[in-house]
Structure 1
Amino acid sequence: MSARRLLIALAAAVLAACASPTPPDARPAARPAARLQLRLAPAALGQSISLQQHLTVEREGRTDQLDTALEIDAQHLDLVGLAFGQRVMTLHYDGRELQVWRHAMLPRQVQGDDVLQDVQLTLWPAQAIRQALPAGWELRETDGQRTLLLDGETVAVIDYPDRKAWGGKVILTNLRYRYKLTIQSVVTSE
C-alpha cells in the first residue's frame, strides 16, 4: 500500500470512529432514530480560542490518531484535520452553514455534522448546550464531567481530568457509537 493510501486509510479510521452509523443494537430503545444534530452559534462559546489538538480514537480494539488545528471566534469555527502532516478534512461553520471538505478517499460515513457536534459538546458552556437541546435530550454537569442523555439513557460521557475544556485533556466516551475520543489540547491563542 502506498504511503498516500495508508495516510488516507488512517485518517478515515479516526474520523469514522466519530461518525459511524448507529449499530441497530446500540440505539436507545425509546427513540431508535433520534439524532442530536447540535449546531450552536460560534458566538455562544463566549470567547475566541485557537487550539492545536491531538486526537486518539479507540474503537473495537483499535487505536488511531489525528492532529487538528481549531480556531473559533464569534463569527466562525474553522477546523483542519491532519494525518501525517497532510490535510484530510476541513470544516468551516459560520453559525448558519457548515462547509465541509474531505479528502476523496475518506468514506462517506465521515460526517462534518458529527465532528462539529463533538467539538461543541466538549467546548461550549453547558448552559448554551442545554438551551439548544431538542425534547428528550438532557445534559448533566458535575465537577469535571458532563453526561449527555436521551430519554434518561446515557448516550455519552465527557470527562475533564484537567478540569478545563481546552488547554488540557478531555475524554469523550460515546456509548451509542461505541468509541472513546481522547483530546489533548494546547492553546495557541485566546
Structure 2
Amino acid sequence: MQHLTLFERLSPIAAVLLLAACATAPQAPARLGLRLVPAALGETISVQQQLTVERAGTTNDLVAALEVDPQHVSLVGLAMGMRVLSLDFDGREVKEWRHAMLPSQVRAADVLEDLQLTLWPLAEIARALPPGWTIVDDGLRRTLSRDGAVVATVSYSTMPRWQGTAVLDNVRYGYRLTVVSATE
C-alpha cells in the first residue's frame, strides 16, 4: 500500500483552490477587486455546493459550505473531508484561513469576487464597477466586460441564482467554475 505525504495528498486540493481562486500570475491583468457588503445580496442563504474547476484540460472538485447573512459572508472549502480554506467577510475586511500546504497565490479575496459576481444583484455590482467596466444581465446569463472586451460570463440554470447550477467562464484567466448547489 502506498503512503502519501500530506503534501502529496493536498496537491489536488491546492490545484482546485488555486484554480477556483483564480490566482493572478505576475503578468496577468489585475483582478476587479469587487467588495460588496453582505447585506447587498438582499437575502440570507445557507447552502452546500459542489465546485468543479476546469482549466487547461484539467478538472478538479471541491465541496463548499456557503452562508450569507446581512452581516457576513462565510465560505468553508473541504477536500477529502478536511477543511482546506475558509473566508469570512464582514463588508470591510476579508479574513481567511488556509491549510499550511496551500500556495500563497490562493487568495480568499479572489474567491469572494467570483462569489459576488455570480450571486449579488446586478444593480449592486454595476454601482461598484470602476470606469470602463460594464455588466449586463439577460435573465439566466450575465456578462462582465472591460472596455468592450468580455472578461467573464455567468450562466444559471434557475432563479434564485444561488440554487441549481451556475457556470462562471472567466475569459481573462482561462478557467470555468461550475457551482452546483445542493437541493433541500
TM range (shorter): over 0.9
Matched, 1:70 2:66: yes
* TM-score, normalised relative to structure 1: 0.90
Q: CA deviation at 1:19?
A: 2.2
Which one scores higher on RCO, CA 8 angstroms, separation ≥ 6?
A: 1
Q: Distance in 1 between matches of 2:142 and 2:35?
A: 18
Q: Distance in 1 between matches of 2:57 and 2:159?
A: 28
Tell me which of 12, 35, 39 is aligned to 2:14: 12
Map 1:1-190 onto structure 2 (within 5 A): 2=4, 4-17=6-19, 18-22=21-25, 24=27, 33-186=29-182
**Misfit runs of 4+, over 3 Å:** none
Q: Which runs of 5+ in 2 are unaligned?
A: none
Q: Distance in 1 between matches of 2:96 and 2:56?
A: 27
Which residue identity does 1:10 align to in structure 2?
A: P
Identity %: 50
- C-alpha contact 1:166 1:186 (8 A) present in aligned 2: no
How far does the alpha carbon of each residue in 1:80-116 deviate from its partner, in whole angstroms, 9 at most, with x for none?
0000110000101000111011101000110111000
User: What SS does the aligned partner of 1:131 have?
Assistant: helix
User: What SS does the aligned partner of 2:62 have?
Assistant: strand
Q: Distance in 2 between matches of 1:128 and 1:73?
A: 16
Distance 1:168 1:23, change over 3 A: farther
User: What SS does the aligned partner of 1:114 have?
Assistant: helix
Q: CA deviation at 1:3?
A: 5.9
* TM-score, normalised relative to structure 2: 0.92
How far does the alpha carbon of each residue in 1:108-131 deviate from its partner, in whole angstroms, 9 at most, with x for none?
110111000011011101111111
Which residue identity does 1:93 align to in structure 2?
A: F
How far does the alpha carbon of each residue in 1:24-79 deviate from its partner, in whole angstroms, 9 at most, with x for none?
4xx6xxxxx44310000000000100010000000111000000001000000110
- Alignment length, in residue pairs? 181
- C-alpha contact 1:154 1:175 (8 A) present in aligned 2: yes
User: What SS does the aligned partner of 1:118 have?
Assistant: helix
